[in-house]
């Protein structure tokens, strides 16, 4: 691995000159520029980015921290982040917080010297953690999917509660009143906001909230499947299921199918995410599209902007969009199921 000194020797110039042609700064005579270029060429020289970063205090890297690589939206998020970063010629360094708040916190602090900005998609860090991070960090941080009461930092968020209301509205419009609910984790803001949406929609129509209709899942198919099985075994009656994501909705679909219950004839199902697989199940799943790609693009682009110019904190809000397919239909009679 050749260094700038090797280039100097081969081209008979000083480090300063080589540095100038590398970065296109200052004035360099055409002939020497060519000398340097061909020297770099024949040596296969590539500037050491670590050294550059140390010298300039600019890494041209943005950090992406996620609580868990397993997360439902992680794939799409990463893909979009990578695309946006590359477009701006920035490197992306991705880190997993292993669902451990302390570890995640430490990881972000460590990133400070390695990135010009960080994008955080956390489901374990408390609002307080994020607040502290924002204060201690000398680099800007953009938070995805978190709504703090005050807009104290850059954020790109999603209207969780509204999305559920949208789903509930669709179900209620179709005459459903006995609506079972399969939630996600209940110890983070997303889960809580969504459950609030569920309760709110019920209350709006004067439907009593029934604890027995609520089961907690963990956002994967298996938990959706099991939650639905419990629902069936409990013998409670319901005409529709609202799941806090598509995977669990699909798991529930499987459980109903196995139990010989027709979807949507006997029970309607609605999910949220617009997971690509949802379209390939039978029946095709009705869902709410969650604009993860757009949000990620926004967040990364904001982070990139913040690398160079310091801007007032800005926050963006996104909302869901109903995608009607085949898994919801009007209730036939209140007695069904």
Partner DNA sequence: CTGTTAGCGCGTTCAA
Partner DNA sequence: TTGAACGCGCTAACAG
Residues 295/139, Cβ–Cβ less than 8 Å: no
How many residues line the site for its own copies (CB under 8 A)?
A: 46
With contacts defined by CB under 8 A, name the span among 104-112, 152-160, 175-183, 226-234 that binds its own copies: 104-112
With contacts defined by CB under 7 A, name the span among 54-62, 138-146, 227-235, 273-281 that binds DNA: 54-62
Q: Which is nearer to DNA, 91 or 159 (CB)?
A: 91
- What is residue 57's DSSP assignment? T
CB atoms within 10 A of CB 78: 18
Least gap, CB of 105 to its own copies (angstroms): 12
Residues 283/325, Cβ–Cβ less than 8 Å: yes
Residues 236/215, Cβ–Cβ less than 8 Å: no
Contact between 151 and its own copies by CB under 8 A: the answer reads: no
In whole angstroms, how far apart are CA 13 and each of 28, 32, 43? 11, 8, 15
With contacts defined by CB under 8 A, name the span among 154-162, 252-260, 300-308, 329-337 that binds its own copies: 252-260
Contact between 56 and its own copies by CB under 8 A: the answer reads: no
**How do strand 321-323 and strand 286-289 relate by DSSP bridges?**
antiparallel
Tell me the C-alpha distance between 217 and 225, whole Å. 9
Partner from DNA, its own copies, none binding residue 19, C-beta < 5-8 Å depending on class: DNA
With contacts defined by CB under 8 A, name the span among 9-17, 92-100, 237-245, 320-328 that binds its own copies: 92-100
Residues 265/238, Cβ–Cβ less than 8 Å: no
Partner from DNA, its own copies, none binding residue 205, C-beta < 5-8 Å depending on class: none
Partner from its own copies, DNA, none binding residue 70, C-beta < 5-8 Å depending on class: its own copies
Among 37, 43, 47, 261, indicate the residue that binds DNA (CB under 7 A).
47
Contact between 287 and its own copies by CB under 8 A: the answer reads: no
Contact between 138 and DNA by CB under 7 A: the answer reads: no
Q: Which is nearer to DNA, 25 or 333 (CB)?
A: 25
Helix ranges (DSSP H) in 115-261: 127-136, 160-173, 189-204, 221-234, 246-258
Q: Which of 204, 211, 212, 214 is nearest to 173 (CA)?
A: 204
Long-range pairs of 6-9 with CB within 8 A, sequence gap ≥ 24: 6/43, 6/45, 7/36, 7/39, 7/40, 7/43, 7/45
Partner from DNA, its own copies, none binding residue 311, C-beta < 5-8 Å depending on class: none
Contact between 57 and DNA by CB under 7 A: the answer reads: yes
Among 12, 26, 265, 280, indicate the residue that binds its own copies (CB under 8 A).
280
Least gap, CB of 261 to its own copies (angstroms): 13
Partner from DNA, its own copies, none binding residue 17, C-beta < 5-8 Å depending on class: DNA
CB atoms within 10 A of CB 315: 17
CB atoms within 10 A of CB 125: 23
Residue 172 CA, chain-centre distance (Å), reads 29
Contact between 236 and DNA by CB under 7 A: the answer reads: no
Tell me the C-alpha distance between 129 and 96, whole Å. 17
Partner from its own copies, DNA, none binding residue 174, C-beta < 5-8 Å depending on class: none
Among 10, 40, 92, 163, indicate the residue that binds its own copies (CB under 8 A).
92
Binding site residues, DNA, CB under 7 A: 1, 3-5, 12-20, 22-23, 25-29, 31-33, 45-48, 51-52, 54-57
């Amino acid at each position: 691995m050749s260094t700038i000194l090797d280039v100097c020797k081969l081209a008979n110039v000083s480090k300063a000159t080589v540095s100038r042609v590398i970065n296109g700064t200052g004035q360099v005579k055409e002939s020497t520029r060519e000398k340097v270029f061909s020297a770099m060429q024949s040596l296969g020289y590539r500037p050491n980015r670590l050294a550059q970063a140390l010298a300039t205090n600019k890494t041209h890297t943005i950090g992406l921290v996620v609580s868990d690589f397993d997360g439902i939206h992680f794939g799409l998020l990463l893909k979009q982040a990578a695309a946006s970063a590359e477009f701006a010629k920035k490197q992306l360094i991705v880190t997993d917080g292993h669902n451990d708040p302390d570890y995640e916190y430490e990881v972000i602090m460590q990133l400070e010297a390695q990135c010009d900005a960080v994008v955080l998609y956390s489901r374990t860090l408390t609002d307080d953690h994020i607040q502290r991070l924002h204060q201690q960090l000398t680099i800007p941080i953009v938070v995805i999917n978190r709504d703090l009461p005050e807009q104290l930092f850059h954020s790109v968020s999603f209207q969780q509660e509204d999305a559920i209301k949208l789903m509930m509205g669709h179900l209620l419009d179709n005459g459903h009143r006995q609506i079972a609910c399969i939630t996600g984790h209940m110890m983070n803001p997303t889960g809580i906001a969504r459950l609030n949406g569920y309760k709110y929609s019920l209350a709006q129509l004067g439907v009593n909230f029934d604890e027995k209709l609520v089961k907690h899942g963990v956002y994967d198919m298996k938990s959706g499947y099991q939650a639905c099985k419990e629902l069936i075994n409990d013998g409670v009656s319901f005409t529709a299921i609202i799941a806090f994501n598509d995977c669990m909705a699909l798991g529930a679909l499987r459980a109903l199918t196995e139990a010989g219950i027709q979807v949507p004839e006997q029970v309607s199902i609605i999910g949220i995410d617009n997971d690509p697989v949802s379209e390939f199940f039978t029946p095709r799943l009705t869902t709410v599209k969650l604009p993860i790609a757009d949000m990620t693009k926004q967040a990364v682009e904001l982070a990139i902007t913040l690398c160079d110019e310091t801007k007032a904190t800005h926050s963006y809000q996104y909302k869901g969009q109903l995608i009607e397919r085949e898994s919801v239909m009007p209730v036939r009679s209140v007695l069904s199921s």
